[in-house]
Amino acid sequence: MEKVFIYDTTLRDGSQAEGVNFSLEDKLRIIQKLDEFGIDYIECGWPGANPKDTVLFERLKKYRPQHAKIVAFGSTRRPGKRAEEDPQVENLLRSGARVITIFGKSWDFHVEQALKTTLEENLHMVYETVEMLKKHVDEVIFDAEHFFDGYKSNPDYAKEVLLTALQAGADWLVLCDTNGGSLPQEVYEITRKVRECYSDARIGIHTHNDSDTGVANSLMAVLAGARQVQGTINGIGERTGNANLCSIIPNLQLKMGFEVVREESLRRLTELSHFISEMSNMPLPKNMPYVGESAFAHKAGVHASAVMKHSSTYEHIDPSLVGNRRKVTVSDLSGRSNIVYKLREIGIQVDEKSPEVMRLVEKIKELEKEGYHFEAAEASFELLCKRHFGLVRDYFELDAYRVLIAKRSGDQLPVSEATVRLSVEDVKQHTAALGNGPVSSLDRALRKALEEFYPNLKEVQLIDYKVRIVNESEGTRAKVRVLIESTDGDRKWGTVGVSENIIEASWIALTDSLIYKLHKDEEEGII
C-alpha cells in the first residue's frame, strides 16, 4: 500500500479554537500520545510567539520520539528584512526542531493587501527563508497559505510561489485552503494540476472546515496526488475547525487502501479522540463519525434486529477496528431485538420469544409514553430490567419524605430542609438535612439515613442535573423529566425520573442513582 503521511497540528492550529488553552504539561502529554499512536509529523507550536511554546521546545530537546518528527512552525521573513536578521526565523532555528514548517503567501490579494508588499518581494521572502532554513535542518515544509483562493484569482502567481519554494529546497509543498471555502471538486482539480505541473514535488494538503467539507477536501486531494495530510484530532481549530484526522485516517486506511498507521494503532483511535477531548475541554460530539458514542448506535428495532444477524447491514465498518463499540439504545422505537441485546449486554440471557421479554418491551414503551427517556439513563434502564426479573434486592424501604422551602424577608436565598423516614432491614431511620436547594437537601438527608449501613455511598457524587419539560403544552402543570449523572470516581452512570412534581422526579432519579451504586458494588463483592 502507498504511504500517506499524517501531519498533526492540534497543538498549534487546534489550540486556536475558541475555549482551548493547553498548558505546557498538556502539550507534552499530547505529544507523547500522538507519537505513541503513530502520527508522522507533530507540529508543536511557534517558537518565540509566546513564552509557553518557547519553553516547550526547550523541553523537547530532551525528548526522543518513538516515531514522529517534531515540527516547529513559523513564517517567511518579513518584507524588507534579510532572513538572517529576522528574529522569528532565528527562533525557528533555536528551537532545535529538525523539521520546520513555514507558511508564505500564495494569493496575490493577500500579498498586496495584508503584507503591503510587492509580488516580487514576496517571492524573495519565500526563497530566502526556505533556502536559509534548509541549510540547518533535515526537512523544510512550505505551507502555501490561501493557495486555493490564490489559484482561483491568479493561477500563474500561485504556481510561481510553489516553484520558488521548490527551487529553494522545500521538501514538501502543502496546498492550504486557509479560509475553508473551497469545495471537493475544486480541490481535486487544482491539486491534480499542481501535481502535473510539479511531478517531482511531494504535495500536501491543509484544509479548514468552514464549508463542512474539510475531510472531503483532504480525501479528494489525496486522490489527486497529495501524500501528506494536515489536520487536527477531533477537527478542533479556529472558527469551525480544521480537517478532522479522526475521520481522515480510517477513511484513507480502511476505505481507500493507503498505508497510514499500524492496525493496532488504528484500534486506539477512539481512545486518542477521547483523550484530546478531555485535554482540550471540548466535549466530543456523540454523532462524530468513527469515534463518537453514537457512531455505531442503533435505535430502531428493525436496525437492531438486522445488526444482530449481520453487522454489515447497518454498520459500514466493524467498530472494533477504530476502538469503538456497538451501542443498541432503548426507546419507543425499540423492538424485542433491542431489548434482548441490552439484556445480554447486562448479563441476562433470555429467549427473544419469551413472554417475559414481551411484557418488558410493553412496560418500557409505556414508560416512554409517560415521558421516560433511557438513552441517557442506562443505569435506570439496567435497574428496570433487573427488577423485572427479580434481580435487584430492596436496600431500603421508604416511609415518607418531606421538603420545606422557606424564604424570609431580608434573606438573600431561600432555605431548603428535607426530612426522610425509611427503614433498612427493619431498622427505622428518621433524618433531616439542610441544603442549598430541595434536591441538595433530599440528597443529604437520604445519605444521612443510609451511609451508616452502606458507607460506600460516600463515594457517590452528583456531577450533572438536567430538567426537561415532557408535555410543554401543559405549562406549569406539565410533566418534567429529570436526568442525573453520578460518579464514584471509577464509573459514571445516568438515571432518570418523571413526574408532574419536580421534587418527585428528582427523588426517583436520585434513589436510582444510589441503588445502582449499591447493586454494582454488590455484584463485584464490595458489599
- pLDDT digit string, tens, across residues 78-115: 998 899 889 999 999 999 999 999 999 999 998 999 88
Mean residue pLDDT across the chain: 91
Give the sign of the dihedral formed by CA 445, CA 449, CA 452, CA 454.
negative
Mean pLDDT of 148-152: 96
Instruction: State the Rg of the chain over Cα.
Output: 29
150, containing H or E segment: helix 147-153
Give the confidence band of 299 by pLDDT, cuts at 50, 70, 90: low
DSSP character at residue 143: E
Strands (E), 185-293: 203-207, 228-231
State the Cα–Cα distance between residues 40 and 7, nearest whole angstrom.
6
Cell matching residue 317: 465498518
- Average pLDDT rounded to a whole number, residues 352-369: 84
pLDDT of amino acid 335: 58
Amino acid making up residue 247: S
pLDDT at site 333: 47
Name the band, by pLDDT with cuts 50, 70 and 90, for residue 301: low
pLDDT level of residue 511 (50, 70, 90 thresholds): very high
Q: Does residue 390 carry a pLDDT above 60? A: yes
Name the residue with cell 497510514. Answer: 260
Residue-level pLDDT at 472: 66
DSSP β-ladder status, 172-177 and 397-406? unpaired
Residue 33 has pLDDT above 80, yes or no: yes
Residue 12's nearest CA partner among 226, 230, 228 is: 230
Distance CA 473, CA 76 (A): 62
pLDDT tens digits, 163-191 = 999 999 999 999 999 999 999 999 999 99
Q: Given pLDDT bands bounded at 50, 70 and 90, which one contains residue 314? A: low
**pLDDT tens digit sequence for 418-476:** 999 999 988 999 999 999 899 999 999 999 999 999 999 999 999 889 898 887 667 77
> Domains of the chain by range and CATH?
5-261 (3.20.20.70), 297-368 (no CATH), 397-523 (3.30.160.270)
Q: Exposed, middle or buried, 448 (CB in 10 Å: 0-12/13-18/19+)?
A: middle
